Amino acid sequence: NAGVMQNPRHLVRRRGQEARLRCSPMKGHSHVYWYRQLPEEGLKFMVYLQKENIIDESGMPKERFSAEFPKEGPSILRIQQVVRGDSAAYFCASSLKNPGQGGVEQFFGPGTRLTVL
Amino acid sequence: SQQGEEDPQALSIQEGENATMNCSYKTSINNLQWYRQNSGRGLVHLILIRSNEREKHSGRLRVTLDTSKKSSSLLITASRAADTASYFCATDGYGNKLVFGAGTILRVKS
């Protein structure tokens, strides 16, 4: 059973370009989370999605950032018109159960390291 | 300040010694989890302790939880150079999301 897959592992973009980060959850998992990690900091929650639904986007910046988890295919985190401050590691996690049930383990992918020049 | 604060920020020990890291949090939780992150890599789940548990063991790891003090500790016994990494605690006190602290950087010297 493959773990959470993320690609690309490294992404370089120039200011103003778009960045698309992909995440395939573990087999059988329908709950996906995105987190961002700035250098020397812990992970910060961005968004929680189930298939075709955004459940909690309280950590998403108001502009330029969007996420989706379509019925078929991976979850996508999209950053439009990137700026240098978007440079960070973006991690995806998935879980089997609804986090509201408590005690739900989230399995993390290897991350995508975005560098904005 | 951020929920899930770890201390110390950095810890340097000799191989074979024990390493203790602490985590404090602010709200009620269902569970608390500890993760390890090697430099430039993803997170590896170490252990989950539920709010009704006080202590849990996994190999060389021992985690304690004191909900009255809203704190947890991670003890790594007989440390090895391969234990060198950053260690994060994460809590689920805010529902859907895990809230991470800034982490403790552990360096084990051989």
Residues of B in contact with A41 (CB under 8 A): 102-103
Report DSSP letters for A55-109, one per residue.
Answer: EE-TTS-SSSEEEE--SSS-EEEEE-S--GGG-EEEEEEEESS-GGGSSPPPEE-
What is the per-residue pLDDT for B1? 33
Cβ atoms of residues B88 and B37 within 8 Å: yes
Residues of B in contact with A44 (CB under 8 A): 100
Mean local confidence (pLDDT), A81-90: 96
Chain A with chain B: Cβ pairs closer than 8 A: 69
Torsions phi, psi for B31 (to 5 deg): -155, 165
Cβ atoms of residues B49 and B67 within 8 Å: no
Please determine, for residue A2, whether its predicted confidence score (pLDDT) is greater than 90: no
Residue A99 Cα, gap to closest chain B Cα (Å): 5
**Partner residue opposite A42 with nearest CB, options B30, B97, B103:** B103
Residues of B in contact with A58 (CB under 8 A): 97
What is the per-residue pLDDT for A101? 62
A42 touches chain B (CB under 8 A): yes
Please determine, for residue A34, whether its predicted confidence score (pLDDT) is greater than 50: yes
Please determine, for residue B93, whether its predicted confidence score (pLDDT) is greater than 80: no
pLDDT tens digits, residue range B38-60? 987 888 999 999 999 999 999 99
B4 touches chain A (CB under 8 A): yes
